[in-house]
Amino acid sequence: GTLTMALQAIISDAAGVRVLDQLLLPSTSKYVEVNKAEDAWTCIREMKVRGAPAIAIVAALSLAPELVSKQVASASELLEHFLKSTAYLRTSRPTAVNLFTTMDNFDALVRSLVSEGKSCEEILQRIKSEADGMLVKDVQDNTAVGKFGAEAILARSGGQAVRVLTHCNTGSLATGGYGTALGIVRSLAAAGKLDHVFFTETRPYNQGARLTAFELVHDKLPCTMIADSMAALLLQRRGLGAVVVGADRVVRNGDTANKIGTYMLALCAKHHGVPFFVAAPSTSIDVSRATGEEIHIEERPADELLVTNGVRATPLGLNAWNPSFDVTPGVLIAGIVTEFGVALPGPDGKYDMAAYLAEHRK
């Protein structure tokens, strides 16, 4: 029971909103209460919750409790405070687009409810139901991503069981449930087509070693961890069918910001002729930016690299560069798997994600 529970990054029920503290995994399963926007901001900034979909959902779920805690008296006062809250939540972390799109959508919703003359109570209920709906929809989207991604990989392998490599944590812990890239791995396993999944430990924060490992052991899937620096040899020697990763922001031309180390894997995969797939529900696609050069890459504190589990394993006074994400050029990506299917590059070898989304959102 507790293990299954621990695969739920976010719980929202009658008792309130609780977030699994992922900094303590895998040794401790402890849930943190989110009673106001500041709680969500802190959970996101400190990476107690991480993963682009999960970040957006936690931010959204904090909006109603925040308004309740402020005891707003009128709809106009509610709107004023609400817009302050969403603006504040946007400052938690910069790279994953889901958070920003979600806050934009909630701003538009609440503005329209206020202009329609809805009561504070009605607006609150609507905010809560929309946020809860995100949890449900994320699992549905991820299940579709899993199915389409598995089909794309098996089309390349001629239906043979495959060995795949993944990076970071893109599973239940990074999302509302099931996962994006890890959802594809789960889908392959359910079809009896997963020979083996290799995953990187994902330095410097070890989301692979701490979180993906936890999920794969829980699901009893055939898995092996490697250090990030072993990926080229793995691709050279082990006959992989695919590399599959998640995404924090995919822009119009398919350039993809994802956990640091993703770009290196894509380069290695290209050289070895192994298809490199990105799993990105439409919530992670940002058509307002043309290329990856326009993506703001978050830099995390140096201590996250210099200190491991509270122990400093490096000399004092040492400097470190700690970008949290890198950008993989679309030309290295075999397919971008969404809940609508797999986006492929055009005849010119380039992606047009704006056209792809417009077509599927009709």
Where in the sequence numbering do the catalytic residues fall?
248
CB contact set of 235 (below 8 Å; sequence gap of 6+): 165, 243, 268, 269, 271, 272, 274
Q: Output the CA–CA distances (angstroms, integers) from residue 177 to 34, 337, 350, in the order listed.
A: 19, 17, 31
The one-letter amino acid code at 134 reads M
Integer Cα distance of 38 and 35 in angstroms: 8
Nearest to 250 by CA among 217, 277, 228, 271: 277
Give yes or no for a contact between 284 and 249, defined as CB atoms under 8 angstroms apart: yes
Task: Please measure the distance between the N-terminal and C-terminal CA atoms of the chain and give it in whole angstroms.
Answer: 42
Integer Cα distance of 266 and 25 in angstroms: 28
Give yes or no for a contact between 300 and 93, defined as CB atoms under 8 angstroms apart: no
Q: Is 354 exposed, middle or buried (0-12, 13-18, 19+ CB in 10 A)?
A: middle
